[in-house]
Each structure stands twice: as structure tokens, then as C-alpha cells.
Amino acid sequence: MPTNEFNRIKSHLPGDIVLHRPRVRSRRLRRVLGVPALFSSAYGNVGSSIYYALGVTAAYALGLTPAVFMLAGVLFAFTALSYAEGTAALPEAGGSSSFARRSFNELISFIAGWALMLDYIVTIGISAFEVPNYLAVFFVDLKSWPLNSIIGIVIIGFLALINAIGVKEAAGLNIVLAVLDLVTQLLLALGGLVLLFNPEILIGNIHWGVAPTWDQLIYGISISMIAYTGIETISNMAEEARDPGRTVPRSITLVLFAVIAVYALISLIALSAMPVHQLPDGTWTTELATEWRTDPVMGIVAHLPALFRPILAAWVGLLAATILLIATNAGILGISRLTYSMGQHHQLPPLLSEVHQRFRTPYKAILAFAVFASLLILPGQIDLLADVYSFGAMLAFTFAHISIIALRWKEPDMHRPFKIPLNVRFRGRDLPVTAILGGLGTLTVWLVVVYSHFWGRTLGIMWVVAGFLLYVIYRRRKGLSLFRTYAPALTVATSSRSTSM
Amino acid sequence: MTKATSRILVPVKGQPDDDEAVRLACVMAKRHKAKIYVVYVIEVPRALPLNADLPEELHQAELALDRAEQVADEFNCEIEAELLQARFAGPAIADEAVDKGIDLIIVGIPYRTRLGDFHLGSTATYVLKNAGCRIWLCRDAIGKQETS
């Protein structure tokens, strides 16, 4: 071997030279997040959706909004279980894309990942768009269009820039804010239970088949999926979890209970405070869907007794804006990691997934998807965002469920630190009931979105077709199979090495 | 030094002050027949997955660990060199100390100032606050490092 492949490291005796072959040590990942950190990060993201999901869902589901959220909550629970099993077994950033790669092939994995990307883009857009709507408590004009869209775009631009140049965020601060958010939501719910909750009004809000109509109800169910934006962050966090087989399922269970409880309470209180009523033209509505459509939680505060209102409004406005900023940032981080992961698996061209040499971030992807998110919020239509989210999320979640079922079938002996508990035995394999029901549910909702949501269907299908073409052209140009998985650039293994004289 | 010391951890960053920390660890190891672990933590930006491939950082880590081995060689000491990827070095070092049953962490730090005042750095501060074992700080002489 030529000597230039060696490094000179030390002379033992005068004139002696010890040559030392350059080595590449393998790396070990140090995962440090426990249940509290995982819970608060996931809750910070999922729990932030209440600040916009309530108004947009109430516009269609009217008096049945709490029931619709519970139904969506069941689908959320089933999806969370599938994510818990998948991410505990495959703690990677790709989420449903990683599950699909293992259970099917690279093309299915790409479609799942590409759909997930759309969710991240909507999460970035909707969270940023909501920030000025909640800050309107201080300056009322902030709630008006186009100012709210412009400020939302400025926020996206700012966060994209600081993420592209790799500014470290204070993880501890995020955790504190998420806990504060949960406490505030619970206090609001408890205060509302005492001061606003009225079962008679809630029963009077429901007019079967009329308000909402059956079509509205189905539409409301499909749009209510926006309530659980951020579920995909669980898979992002799993790669950083200490003992993911134990900590991920525990934190997911905690998030599940917290989110469903908060949604149930807040929606019941909101509809007690802002009952469904008929307009002179015969249509039915609630203030939640009109005056408070973009800042529904502020609507609850506005109906509390005047004594609490000023301080609580300022507190809720400020906290909501902060939590939504964090959710925007989490969306940017999520899409950034997903792009990198897809690039590593030769699913996206380097043009998108390239990492900046100095900043060590996939800056092109961050900036490109920030532009997409900005375009989505430009019209200031929250319904459009909810439509597009439902399209992408239901597609990605359906792939997640199907992949978990397929993995049980193809690799029954695969190491699964967490296994979904309720199973049916079929031809010697345990198939998870919640994944089957969840997959059927999310597929049904996706079909409803495709059938009845114009913007969801139009933009969603355009997104999938554009992605598919990008994938096919890129793989063909590189001479790669569309279906085959090629080894990623990095294999991670435990390493330790001893040296002695 | 009266307490038994059987496992020593030295986090390195590829700075000149690492050498002094490794030397001190070697002296202690010889006296107590202790084992030395040297770790280099690559901090992965949050915009990338934890297992991201960072060739430049990897190269720096290799150099730092090789240097630690050379210093240990001068003392005829055996070290176990390891490379970790984590979000933040502080929690990674503190957790590593727990996992390995470390009795003593020796941290080499430069003399740095921020806004005119001495600045310890976030990693050393985190380790001091959170690691359960004994910690020795080995600060470089004033003037040997540039101020930040």
C-alpha cells in the first residue's frame, strides 16, 4: 500500500516512524429525549391546531362540532397507534415514507413522503397565517386581509431564513411554552365549564339533517382532520427519543388523551358561548364560523365575564401567537429533515436536498417550501388550507396504516419495541384492528376530500402529479429503478475502539 | 484525591485545551488504574435528521480523536475513543457519563470572554449543572485563546 495512505503519528525511537492507517470511525447516535420532552414537543405542535381548527370545522359541522372532533379524535388515536408502532421499530425522520419503504418499495415510499411534505407545507402556512390573527387583540387591523397574509408570509420568510442558516433554537424554551399552552387551555376549559357551559344550548344547537345538513356534516368531518396537524412530528421526535420503544408509545398516549380532552372541552364551551342560530336568509351559523373563524379561542375569551377579559385576551393572544410560531418552525424543521431523508434515498434531486457546506442545512428545500407555504396563505382562505391539509394528511396516514399492516404480514418476526395491542389472527399473523379501521377511515375521508373539496382535489392532485414526474425524471436520468431502494449514504453503527502503545 | 476513580470521561472538541485534559486524565488513570473514554460529539443541526452524514464534521472529529490518542500514547495510556452524533453536546456528555458509569469528567476549556466577561460556554455549563459525577475543569491560560 502506498505510504501516502498512512498518517505518521509518532516516533518510538530516533529514526523510527509508526505509520497509522487513516480510519473512519463509525458513529453512535446519542438520543436524549425522555417522555416529558417528547410529550411537550408533540403537544406543542398538535395542541396548536385548536387555535384554528375550531372555527373552520364549526363552519360546517355547526352544533355537531364536538361530536365531529371526537370522531376525528378516534381516527387520530388509530393513526397515532400506527405511528407509535412504526416509529418505535423504525426511529427515522421519514415517518410514513420510511414505513412504506420497508413494507413496499421506493415509489410508494416517495408518494407517502411527498404527501407528508404537503402536510408540512400547510402546517407552516396555516400556523404562520394564524399568528397575526391572534395578535389582533393588540392591533385589531392585524386580523384583516391582506395584512394577516402579508405578516404570515414575513414570519415564514424569517423562520425559513434562520433555519436555512442553522440558528440553534432553545429547546428548553419550547418545552416550557408547550406546558404553558396546555395549562392555559385547561384553565380556559375549566373556567368555561363554570362560566359558559350550558347543556341546554348544546342540545338546542343540533337540528338533525338541517343544521348541519348531512352533506355539511360529511364535509365537516373531512375538514376537521386539520385538528390534528402535527401528528407527523411524533415520527420526527422518535429519532431523538431515548429508548423509543418505551418513551414514544407513552408520550403518544399522553398527547392523545390531552389533545382529545382539550378539544372536547373547548368545543363544548365554544358552542355554549356562541350558539348556532338561523340567519334571515334561512342559513344556520355560529359566531365561531363568522366573527371568530380565524381566532376561535379568542371568541371564547370574548364571551367570558368582563372582569377576566382584558388580561386573559392579552395572555391567550400572546401565548397562541408564540405556540403558532413554534408550530411554524416545527413544520420547517420537519420538511427540512424529510427532504434530507428523501434525498439520501435518491427520491429527490440534489437541487432540492443539497446541504449547505457552511450552515449544514438543506437550505434550498427550506427556502423552496417556504415559498410554497407563502403562496398557500396569500389568498387568506383558511378553508383552502384545511382542504389541502386533509388531502395530504389522509393520503400519508392511509399509507402509514397500510404499511404497518403489510409489515405485520411480510415481517411478522421483525423487532417491534411497541406493538399495537388489539389484533386479529389471520393465516398465522397478527393484524392490528386499529390500523385496519384507521386505514379504512383515512382512505374514506381522503375519497370524500377528492370528491367534494375543490381546492383539496385540485391542488392536491397537482402536487402529487408534479412530485411523481419529478421522481420519475430524476430516477430515469440517474439510471435508477423506480421501485428499488438504494443504500443511503450513511449506515449508523455502534463504535468503540481501543488503542494502546 | 482520595475518592476511587475507575472510569474517566474526556469530551474533546479539537481545541488546544483538549490536550491538557487528556494529559490530566492519563495521570489520573495511571495513579488509579482507571479507564479513559474520550468522546467527540458532532452536534447535528435541528434541520437535519440525527443520523445525517456530515463529512466535514466527521473529519474534524477524526482529527480530534487521533490527537487525543497521540497524547495518550505519550503516557503509555490506553483510551477508548468514540464519536457521537447528538443535537447538543452537553446532554449527550451527561448521558454518556451515566451510561458508562463514569466517576470523573475532565473538561478542557479555553479562556473565552463574551461582552467583556469570562464565558464558560453552554456545553461545560450544562455538564457542570447536570452530570452526577465529579467534574474537573481544566482552563487554558489567559491570552492563549482568542476572545469571542
A89-132 pLDDT, tens digit per residue, is 887 778 889 999 999 999 999 999 999 999 999 999 999 999 99
Write down the pLDDT at residue A245.
79
Q: Which of A9, A30, A239 sits opposite B84 (nearest CB)?
A: A30
Write down the pLDDT at residue A253.
85
Is the Cβ of B50 closer than 8 Å to some Cβ of chain A? yes
A135-178: pLDDT as tens digits: 999 999 999 999 999 999 999 999 999 888 877 665 666 677 77
Peptide bond into A362 cis (omega under 30): no
Top mean pLDDT of A9-23, A36-50, A384-398, A430-444 is at A430-444
Cβ-count burial of B81 within 10 angstroms (0-12 exposed, 13-18 middle, 19+ buried)? buried
Q: Looking at A375-379, B91-95, B114-118, which range is the least confident one?
A: B114-118
Collect all residues with Cβ–Cβ distance below 8 Å to A3 and sequence separation of at least 6: A19
Q: Which of A10, A27, A362 sits opposite B47 (nearest CB)?
A: A362
Q: Looking at A59-63, A339-343, B33-37, which range is the least confident one?
A: A339-343
Cβ-count burial of B77 within 10 angstroms (0-12 exposed, 13-18 middle, 19+ buried)? buried
**B-proximal residues of A, 88-107, CB under 8 Å:** 92-93
B79, A24: Cβ pair inside 8 Å?
A: no
Q: What SS3 state is found at A9? A: strand
Q: Which residues of A touch B86 (CB under 8 A)?
A: 29-32
Chain B residue with the nearest C-alpha to that of A341: B49
Mean pLDDT of chain A: 86
Cα R_g (chain A), whole angstroms: 25
CA–CA min distance A491, chain B (Å) = 8
> Quick one: which of A84, A110, A75 has its CA closest to A440?
A75
CA–CA min distance B63, chain A (Å) = 10
Q: Which residues of A touch B47 (CB under 8 A)?
A: 163-164, 166, 332-333, 336-337, 340, 360-362, 366
Q: Which amino acid is at A287?
A: E
Over range A417-424, report the average pLDDT: 91
Residue B22 in contact with residue B68, Cβ under 8 Å? yes
Chain B residue with the nearest C-alpha to that of A333: B47
CA-to-CA separations, A187 to A112, A194, A262, A316, B110, in angstroms, rounded: 38, 11, 10, 11, 48
pLDDT band at A23 (very low <50, low <70, confident <90, very high): low
Write down the pLDDT at residue A493.
31
Given a cut of 70, is residue B69 above it in pLDDT? yes
CA–CA min distance A168, chain B (Å) = 7
Q: Which residues of B touch A341 (CB under 8 A)?
A: 49
| Alpha helices (H) in A105-243, listed in sequence order | 106-135, 147-164, 171-195, 199-204, 214-223, 233-238
Chain B residue with the nearest C-alpha to that of A161: B47
B81, A25: Cβ pair inside 8 Å?
A: yes
pLDDT band at B3 (very low <50, low <70, confident <90, very high): low
Instruction: State what percent of residues in chain A have pLDDT above 70.
Output: 90
Q: Looking at A13-27, A98-112, B75-89, which range is the least confident one?
A: A13-27
Given a cut of 50, is residue A345 above it in pLDDT? yes
A490, B52: Cβ pair inside 8 Å?
A: yes
Given a cut of 50, is residue A496 above it in pLDDT? no
Given a cut of 90, is residue B5 above it in pLDDT? no
A24, B91: Cβ pair inside 8 Å?
A: no
A270-328: pLDDT as tens digits: 999 999 999 998 899 999 999 999 999 999 999 988 888 888 899 899 889 988 988 89
Is the Cβ of B52 closer than 8 Å to some Cβ of chain A? yes
> Quick one: which of A320, A371, A388, A269 has its CA closest to A142?
A320
**B-proximal residues of A, 335-364, CB under 8 Å:** 336-337, 340-341, 344, 355, 357, 359-362
Is the Cβ of A13 closer than 8 Å to some Cβ of chain B? no
Q: Looking at A42-51, A77-86, A132-141, A376-385, which range is the least confident one?
A: A42-51
Report which DSSP code applies to A219. Answer: H
CA gap A455, A469 in Å, rounded: 21
A9, B73: Cβ pair inside 8 Å?
A: yes
A191-244: pLDDT as tens digits: 889 889 999 999 999 888 888 999 999 989 988 988 877 777 777 777 778 887
CA–CA min distance B25, chain A (Å) = 15
pLDDT band at A3 (very low <50, low <70, confident <90, very high): very low
Write down the pLDDT at residue A6.
45
Write down the pLDDT at residue A239.
75
Q: Which of B39, B48, B84, B99 to mutate to test the interface with A (most CBs of A within 10 A)?
A: B48
Cβ-count burial of A209 within 10 angstroms (0-12 exposed, 13-18 middle, 19+ buried)? exposed
Q: Looking at A174-183, B41-50, B66-75, B76-85, which range is the least confident one?
A: A174-183
Q: Which amino acid is at A229?
A: T
pLDDT band at A494 (very low <50, low <70, confident <90, very high): very low
Over range A421-437, report the average pLDDT: 94
Is the Cβ of A237 closer than 8 Å to some Cβ of chain B? no
Is the Cβ of A32 closer than 8 Å to some Cβ of chain B? yes
> Quick one: which of A282, A219, A256, A279 has its CA closest to A58?
A219
CA gap A384, A454 in Å, rounded: 9
Chain B residue with the nearest C-alpha to that of A329: B47
Count A/B contacts: CB-CB distance under 8 Å: 127
Is the pLDDT higher at A426 or at A17? A426
**CB count in 10 Å sphere of residue A222:** 29
Given a cut of 80, is residue A476 above it in pLDDT? yes
Over range A484-495, report the average pLDDT: 54
Write down the pLDDT at residue A367.
93
C-alpha angle A299-A302-A305 in degrees, rounded to nearest 5:
140
Q: What is the ipTM of this complex?
A: 0.77
Is the Cβ of B84 closer than 8 Å to some Cβ of chain A? yes
pLDDT band at A28 (very low <50, low <70, confident <90, very high): confident
Instruction: State what percent of residues in chain A have pLDDT above 90.
Output: 50
